[in-house]
Structure 1
Amino acid sequence: MHEKQHEFKSNLEESTGHVGEAVSAINLDRAWSATSESTDHISLTRAEALAATLDDGARPAAGDPLPELWHWTFFWPITATNGLGTDGHPKKGAFLPDLGLPRRMWAGGRLKFHRSLEIGKAASRDSKITKITEKSGRTGRLGFVTVTHRVTDECGVAIEEEQDIVYREAYAPGTPEPSPTAAPSGGAWQREIVPTETMLFRYSALTFNSHRIHYDRDYAIAEEGYPNLVVHGPLVATLLLDLVRRNTPNLAIKSFSFRAVRPTLLGHAFMVCGEPGVDGKSVELWAKDDEGWLTMRAEAEVE
């Protein structure tokens, strides 16, 4: 499993997440020491709302362990409306650096789960920028920012996370699309997801995510070049890990790594798939669109 995780991280650093192309590095040293701290109450109401959004049959209760990745609906970055950019994201230059690249998306990440947060209890998250690189690819300049999070509660560290954000140049009509990658065939575990505007709206609300590509179709098409609204990468990742929970309810999830390969778009069903390893401890995961193209690749470790 450790070798797979190392390979996964190398692949992420040599890709552009949703861009899906190889790039060559530019030597660049940038100093950015921004940090952020937030405390939140792991409320039952918000956990119930996410369960309903995901069509999770089990209704959470106070005192239950919070399912893995559901912490993404907490620790909101509270930004006033006049502090948002034209894309709906908080303006760059406060916590996240401004690299002179207007488009920004979550490309992937790595998480270690030491134990579960408890619904009904308080928790805190410390965040800091740990890596900034700029590269050039076939579609122009690219920026990569790694944010490290540490989530703690009254018992100590619960979650350690590295989040990878990709910055891109403005959309230019006529820019060729990267060649898609065929998803693996089969998969012992499979679930079809039919995304709707309501699902995207609910997830945006639960994560306080105002990025317009998830709810403003005209903006998504004209300004960012997508054919339709984009399903949140973290939502797809959550559905992938939810597939593990549904199929291994008696096992604990210890780690999770994911990388966005291609946008998942509204208008068509997509599949989340999983193949447990022969060692009984690792699970290969992937999402694919209605044409069979790979949209996200992930790995989980269970115990």
Structure 2
Amino acid sequence: MTSRRLPIVRDILTPTPSSLLQRTLTDFLPFIRINAKPSYLPYGYHLIHFPTNVRLSTLLPDGTDAMQSPGDPFTRRMWAGGSIIFERAIKLDNSAFHCIEHIVDVHVKGHENDQKIFVKIERKIYPGKYPGERKKQGENIIPHLVETRTLVFMRDDRQKAAADATPSPSKALMPTHTPDFSHTLVPTAALIFRVSALTFNAPANHLDKQYCRDFEGHRNLLVHGPLSLVLMLQFLDEHLRKAGGKSGREEINSVEYRNLAPLYAEEEMKVCIKRKKKGEISGSWDVWIEGRDGGYAVKGTVRTTMMSIGVRPSELRNIIWNGAREGASRSPKGNTIPEMKSASVDEISTEDETIPENEAAPTENSTSEAEWLPTKRLQKIILPTFRGEQNLQKGNH
């Protein structure tokens, strides 16, 4: 599978999809800003761009595309987690971008007749309509965003599993600390439908409640993995904006996350954030979502850097990128790219599966600290201490 060639996906980035997603989320995150014409792509909103360009006739029976599928009988897909590095700001000015996707790792876990195939995918977003376009103009092309995602494929025995399923209490992995800030919401079927449409995503478990119950043994429509990620990033980014002082604010550099348990429509979920260590220039945040039972559904780590006001977003991430690349390993082509380990995804839980006792959150040290320490160039425009948080009371938004 790692030798499989996946097509390059091209997109013209306009403000419209981001504006539509913001308006869709405003009833669930009422504190976010609505911009009818956003200038830059918000964190995580790349997930509504660069859709897989396949015909309906090539979709698998459950509505998922087969581009990363290992084939029969492993056609039941779940989104297990991943990571994103936000390397450069992406302008929404009708510019062309392209996404290059590779399957970088495949491994099998489990006993015979109960195997799970973990497929790790890397996606890089570059400016221009095609690879090498900027090189022809004498520019060194660098990805604006690097994403890894891990998909898990299981045997398609859903109907039998649903028929044989007996109600049993689920084993939830409970959070071990209290969030600094949290926000509770109840996703609706309409929200899930809109996100499915914006992401060009047609799996039946997001659209058909009867299918979820009769074929997969779920009690309602599933919330998308990408939607959970966007909710965490949007909530944290809005907090950082409010906490920023007159001189500057924190910007998100990267995120690692794991999906641990299903989230369902019409059920309460709580988005939580907590700073790992106060007083850092380059900070880290724990981010997670709790399901209705109070256990982890999603958990991850976000890294941030304090930046001064007056630096344009396009310059801001350039400086972060150039600072991060010092000390990074050099690729054969001469571009320096900071190494970023994706979330280690060993197990996920479904309705009838349990989470292992030794389940661990994404490690704080999964990226080398040397790659993220501010360089002299970066220190000229960052604040030595965090400001503005005293203006935001602790508690729920």
User: For this structure pair, what is the TM-score category when the shorter chain's length is used for normalisation?
Assistant: 0.7 to 0.9
Farther-moved stretch of structure 1 (150-159 vs 174-183):
174-183
Residues 163-182 of structure 1 mapped to structure 2, 5 A cutoff:
163-169=149-155, 170-171=157-158, 172=161, 173-174=164-165, 179-182=171-174
Structure showing the higher strand proportion among its residues? 1
Residues 1-303 of structure 1 mapped to structure 2, 5 A cutoff:
32-55=3-26, 57-60=32-35, 62=37, 64-90=39-65, 92=66, 94-98=67-71, 100-120=73-93, 121-136=95-110, 140-153=114-127, 156-169=142-155, 170-171=157-158, 172=161, 173-174=164-165, 179-249=171-241, 250-279=249-278, 280=280, 281-303=283-305
The alignment partner of 2:143 has SS state of: strand
Q: Percent identity?
A: 24
| Pair 77,100 (structure 1): closer, same or farther in 2 beyond 3 Å | same
| Pair 270,80 (structure 1): closer, same or farther in 2 beyond 3 Å | same
Q: CA deviation at 1:100?
A: 2.6
Check the 8 A contact 2:15/2:92 in 1, yes or no. Answer: yes
Which residue is 2:362 aligned to?
Answer: none
Letter in 2 for 1:122: A
Q: CA deviation at 1:190?
A: 0.3
RMSD: 2.1
Q: CA deviation at 1:224?
A: 1.2
The alignment partner of 1:124 has SS state of: strand
| Pair 134,99 (structure 1): closer, same or farther in 2 beyond 3 Å | farther
The alignment partner of 2:250 has SS state of: coil
TM-score (normalised: structure 1) = 0.84
| Pair 296,217 (structure 1): closer, same or farther in 2 beyond 3 Å | same
Letter in 1 for 2:18: A
The alignment partner of 2:213 has SS state of: helix
Letter in 2 for 1:259: R
Q: CA deviation at 1:185?
A: 4.5
| Pair 136,122 (structure 1): closer, same or farther in 2 beyond 3 Å | same
Which residue is 1:12 aligned to?
Answer: none
The alignment partner of 2:110 has SS state of: strand
Distance in 2 between residues matched to 1:177 and 1:149, nearest whole Å: 37
Equivalent pairs counted in the alignment come to: 272
Distance in 1 between residues matched to 2:11 and 2:23, nearest whole Å: 21
Gaps of 5+ in 1: 1-29
The superposition leaves residues 4-46 of structure 1 with CA deviations (integer Å, 9 ceiling, x where unpaired) of: xxxxxxxxxxxxxxxxxxxxxxxxxx65332231110112111
Distance in 1 between residues matched to 2:37 and 2:10, nearest whole Å: 18
Gaps of 5+ in 2: 129-140, 242-248, 306-397
The alignment partner of 1:66 has SS state of: coil
Which residue is 1:22 aligned to?
Answer: none
Check the 8 A contact 2:19/2:38 in 1, yes or no. Answer: no
The alignment partner of 1:156 has SS state of: coil
| Pair 199,138 (structure 1): closer, same or farther in 2 beyond 3 Å | farther
Farther-moved stretch of structure 1 (230-239 vs 31-40):
31-40
Q: CA deviation at 1:287?
A: 0.4
Letter in 1 for 2:20: A
Check the 8 A contact 1:36/1:95 in 2, yes or no. Answer: no
Q: CA deviation at 1:95?
A: 4.7
The superposition leaves residues 194-238 of structure 1 with CA deviations (integer Å, 9 ceiling, x where unpaired) of: 100110000000000001101101111111111111011110111
CA radius of gyration, larger in: 2
| Pair 96,116 (structure 1): closer, same or farther in 2 beyond 3 Å | farther
